[in-house]
Amino acid sequence: MKKIIVAIDGYSSCGKSTVAKTLARQAGYTYVDTGAMYRAVALWAMENNAMEPEKIIPRLQEIHISFIQTEEGQHTCLNGRDVEREIRRLEVGNAASQISQIKEVRAYLVALQQAMGREKGIVMDGRDIGTVVFPEAELKLFLTASPEVRAQRRFDELIEKGETPDFAAVLADVNERDYRDTHRAESPLRQAEDAKVVDNSHLTREKQMEVIYDLFKEAIDR
Ligand code: DC
């Protein structure tokens, strides 16, 4: 059967990675979490005191990122070390947000991501996949949900972790991240012209996957 590239972009906390992982499993494709790649570079920069552009740019070739399959699912490795847990920390996310603004860091990771897609059969999620990494992807999805719905989902996750979040603060954070993602100078988040928009504010997970799997089938039959 024909293999394609599926590019998934969208705002933070709109369920991109769950959709990407589920679709990759259903299709028998490889899943690539590009946010994890920015996070791994950020962790390396934090550990090597190299958060500034002039410190990290000359050393990018020292940073090797790979993915391994574990019993818990896919894990990210930094220079051969499993860093899956560390890269999910809040401060690593904030550092990733900073280093993802550096043009050379983006160019380094985009080249890696393009190499990963050479054989097709890949589902990749991020912010610039359909616009910069694979503008020729056969299927581009742009996921969205209202800020209130995304804030509620994040609020529920925090409650589940035993925290005591303030809803207004969570909503303000969602709006701030949206602003940063869409207004940065380098590869801001935007919808590719030929992307299919899926607003999942009022869709169950199952219904959303049905809609997306239909779009996938349409794309491989095209
Ligand atoms: O999706 P995430 O929260 O794991 O992403 C971490 C950071 O990396 C976030 O600030 C956005 C940035 N990012 C990016 O600039 N381009 C991508 N393709 C993926 C993530």
- Determine whether the shortest distance from the Cβ of 39 to ligand 1 is under 6 A: yes
- Determine whether the shortest distance from the Cβ of 106 to ligand 1 is under 6 A: no
What tens-digit pLDDT sequence spans the chain (222 residues)? 889 999 999 998 899 999 999 999 999 999 999 999 999 999 999 999 999 999 999 999 999 999 999 999 999 999 999 999 999 988 898 899 899 999 999 999 999 999 999 999 999 999 999 999 999 999 999 999 999 999 999 899 889 989 899 999 999 989 988 998 899 898 899 999 999 999 999 999 999 999 999 999 999 998
* All residues at 6 or more sequence positions from 68 whose CB lies less than 8 Å from its CB, including other chains: 74, 75, 77, 82
Q: Whose CA is nearest to atom 4 of ligand 1?
A: 35
Q: Hunting for tokens 């897609």 — which residue is that?
A: 117
* All residues at 6 or more sequence positions from 47 whose CB lies less than 8 Å from its CB, including other chains: none
Joined together, the tokens standing for residue 43 give 């962790």
Joined together, the tokens standing for residue 175 give 């709006």
Q: How far apart are CA 111 and CA 132, in angstroms?
A: 11
Q: Identify the pLDDT of residue 208.
A: 96
Q: Whose CA is nearest to atom 6 of ligand 1?
A: 35
Q: Whose CA is nearest to atom 1 of ligand 1?
A: 35
* All residues at 6 or more sequence positions from 142 whose CB lies less than 8 Å from its CB, including other chains: 8, 9, 10, 130, 191, 192, 195, 196, 197, 198
Q: How far apart are CA 166 and CA 177, in angstroms?
A: 17
Determine the distance separating the centroid of ligand 1 and the alpha carbon of 136, expressed in angstroms. Answer: 21
Range 100-124 burial, b when 16+ CB lie within 10 A, else e: bebeebbebbbebbeebbeeebbbb
Q: How far apart are CA 218 and CA 47, in angstroms?
A: 45
Q: Hunting for tokens 């005191």 — which residue is that?
A: 49
Q: Quick one: which atom of ligand 1 is closest to the CA of 9?
A: 18
Range 177-206 burial, b when 16+ CB lie within 10 A, else e: bbeebeeeeebebbebeebbebebeebeee
Paired residues of 5 in beta bridges? 122
Q: How far apart are CA 59 and CA 62, in angstroms?
A: 6
Q: How far apart are CA 57 and CA 145, in angstroms?
A: 35
CATH of domain 5-221: 3.40.50.300
Annotated domain spans of the chain: 5-221
Q: Identify the pLDDT of residue 26.
A: 96
Q: Identify the pLDDT of residue 94.
A: 85
Put simply, whether the predicted model's pTM sits higher than 0.75 gets the answer yes
Q: Whose CA is nearest to atom 11 of ligand 1?
A: 97
Q: Quick one: which atom of ligand 1 is closest to the CA of 17?
A: 1
Residue 42: name the closest of 25, 15, 70, 63 by CA.
63
- Determine whether the shortest distance from the Cβ of 67 to ligand 1 is under 6 A: no
- Determine whether the shortest distance from the Cβ of 18 to ligand 1 is under 6 A: no
- Determine whether the shortest distance from the Cβ of 12 to ligand 1 is under 6 A: yes
Q: Identify the pLDDT of residue 44.
A: 98
Q: Identify the pLDDT of residue 177.
A: 84
